[in-house]
Amino acid sequence: MAYLYVIESADFVFLRNQTGLTDGNLSSHLSKLESAGYVDIEKKFKGKKPQTRLKLSTKGREAFEIYRDQMNRMLGRVS
């Protein structure tokens, strides 16, 4: 979610390369995030090649901001 938070959208290959996850691992995580309503997934073809575009939904962006704020508060208490 952190990668998608700082960009408008990304394709599956870019996100896989940035995270270092396997196709299966990334796909599994994205399915769960999509089910929660945090990620919008658009699948289409570019020529004959499948292309998957991903972006945070409004709900996902808000959830990440809450998470980020909570982590910042928690880490601020750690010396």
Which residues are CB-neighbours of 18 under 8 A, at least 6 positions away? 3, 10
Q: Show me where the domains of the chain are located.
A: 2-76
Mean residue pLDDT of the chain comes to 94
Give me the percent of the chain exceeding a pLDDT of 70.
99
Domain 2-76 has CATH 3.40.50.620: no
Core vs surface per residue 23-55: b (16+ CB within 10 A) or e: eeebeeebeebeeeebbbeeeeeeeeeeebebe
pLDDT band at 77 (very low <50, low <70, confident <90, very high): confident
Tens-digit pLDDT profile for residues 17-43: 999 999 999 999 999 999 999 999 999
Residues 35-63, mean pLDDT to the nearest whole number: 95
Q: Which of 76 and 22 is assigned the larger pLDDT?
A: 22
